[in-house]
């Protein structure tokens, strides 16, 4: 049984034995990949001359498989198979001229991240600050849809600016304008969302009347929360339901929602893929809502998909997004949560669009 470092060395030396003939002169690269919220893993990529993007294989995952099964040749065969499939797709990623900003520009879009959680990820990335909150928006380039589970894209870094002869501000402006076009907004009533999740869980094999009965019993004491009155509790995302929290940046969207409710609107960061909107009607304080956010982040959300432990608010009078909670109080809530023994394990999830390495 190889130790981890030995395992990585053996993989690097022998992986080409398991790859097709056209890879025999390829360069095998091992590097550290930084995912969302500065989560990291050791990765392997195989780059042939002329490859613009290459998949990253998670060596941490394959080592766990090796420890469990003990057959390193089997593991390398699986790695080869796992690599060839995304490469079939990645060969058609660049259906545009990567070196031409005019062709790149309509593919730019924004993704909202937590600034504090992504310090390493943001080191070389282009970014746009979001005044008044602890989040930041980063531009990415949309390459291609890769089926039901996501799309292929890459992060725009500082080196791309000189290649495309564009300023960071100009690029971010273009990305911000494109995002609602590439990823139209979707606003879903919470009851409808939960019904949909139940439907998916049972692969459509359930009694609709029974489900409605269960909902009416389970939430009969919470009719004020789950009522169909406009915007009392809604999920805000996009039609792709990927990186949907970015919809809070869409021009005038929060303003129009607040106008409809006639009040401030709480924004609960459910994950990077969606946020929950609640009318601030005085029934619950930001601190009460934050306790729920903190617990869900630590028990239900994959680490790289956590957006924030804070609660936000759209101030209808000031017409701006602000923080409804503060960092000091947040730290106290988190410490209390951990000390109470309630902290669980976050689910492990694969990234929705995989990990692509750009040649720059």
DSSP string of 144-182?
A: EE-STT-EEEEE-BHHHHHHHT--HHHHHHHHHHHHHHH
Domain boundary among 34, 64, 91: 91
Shared domain for 258 and 323, answered yes or no, is: yes
Paired tokens of 228: 């169909």
Helix (H) or strand (E) holding 29: strand 27-34
Shared domain for 163 and 194, answered yes or no, is: no
Cβ(271)–Cβ(307) below 8 Å? yes
Shared domain for 40 and 148, answered yes or no, is: no
277 falls within a domain: yes
Shared domain for 62 and 148, answered yes or no, is: no
For residue 267, count other CB atoms closer than 10 A to its CB.
27
Dihedral, CA of residue 321, residue 325, residue 328 and residue 329, to nearest 10: -170
Shared domain for 267 and 130, answered yes or no, is: no
Q: pLDDT tens per residue, the chain (360 residues)?
A: 999 999 999 999 999 999 999 999 999 999 999 989 999 999 999 999 887 778 899 999 999 999 999 999 999 999 999 988 777 656 566 678 889 999 999 999 999 999 999 999 999 999 999 999 999 999 999 987 655 556 778 999 999 999 999 999 999 999 999 999 999 999 998 766 666 655 555 555 555 555 454 444 444 434 443 333 544 689 999 999 999 999 999 999 999 999 988 899 999 999 999 999 999 988 899 999 999 999 999 999 999 999 999 999 999 999 999 999 988 888 888 888 888 765 555 554 444 344 555 555
* CA 238 to the chain's CA centroid: 12
- Sequence-distant (≥ 6) Cβ neighbours of residue 329 within 8 angstroms: 287, 290
User: Which residue, chain included where needed, has tokens 């005085």?
Assistant: 282
| Closest by Cα among 154, 179, 157 to 168 | 157
Full residue range of the structural domain in which residue 132 is found: 101-182
pTM of the model as a whole: 0.80
Domain boundary among 150, 182, 214: 182
Total structural domains in the chain? Answer: 3
């Amino acid at each position: 049984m190889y130790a981890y470092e030995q395992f990585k060395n053996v993989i690097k030396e022998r992986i080409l034995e398991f790859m097709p003939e056209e890879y025999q002169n390829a360069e095998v690269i091992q590097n550290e990949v930084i995912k969302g919220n500065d989560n990291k893993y050791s990765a392997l990529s195989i780059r042939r001359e002329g490859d613009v993007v290459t998949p990253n294989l998670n060596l941490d995952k394959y080592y766990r498989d090796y420890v469990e099964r003990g057959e390193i040749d089997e593991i390398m065969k699986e790695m080869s198979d796992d690599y060839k499939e995304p490469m079939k797709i990645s060969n058609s990623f660049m259906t545009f001229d990567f070196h031409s900003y005019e062709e790149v520009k309509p593919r730019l879009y924004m993704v909202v991240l937590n600034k504090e959680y992504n310090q390493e990820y943001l080191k070389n990335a282009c970014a746009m600050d979001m005044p008044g909150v602890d989040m930041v928006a980063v531009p990415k380039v949309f390459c291609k849809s890769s089926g039901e589970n996501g799309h292929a894209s890459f992060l725009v870094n500082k080196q791309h600016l000189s290649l495309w002869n564009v300023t960071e501000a100009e690029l971010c402006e273009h990305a911000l304008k494109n995002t609602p076009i590439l990823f139209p907004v979707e606003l879903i009533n919470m009851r409808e969302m939960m019904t949909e999740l139940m439907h998916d869980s049972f692969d459509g094999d359930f009694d609709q009347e029974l489900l409605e009965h269960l909902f009416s019993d389970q939430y009969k004491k919470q009719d004020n929360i789950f009522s169909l009155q406009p915007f009392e509790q809604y999920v805000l995302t996009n039609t792709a339901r990927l990186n949907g929290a970015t919809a809070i940046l869409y021009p005038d969207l929060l303003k129009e929602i607040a106008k409809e409710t006639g009040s401030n609107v709480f924004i609960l960061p459910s994950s990077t893929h969606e946020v929950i909107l609640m009318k601030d009607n005085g029934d619950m304080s930001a601190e009460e809502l934050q306790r729920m956010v903190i617990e869900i982040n630590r028990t239900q959300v994959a680490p790289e998909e956590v957006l924030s432990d804070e609660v936000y608010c759209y101030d209808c009078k000031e017409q701006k997004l602000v923080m409804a909670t503060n960092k000091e109080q947040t730290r106290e809530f988190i410490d209390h949560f951990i000390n109470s023994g309630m902290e669980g394990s976050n689910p492990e999830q694969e990234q929705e669009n995989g990990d692509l390495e750009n040649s720059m």
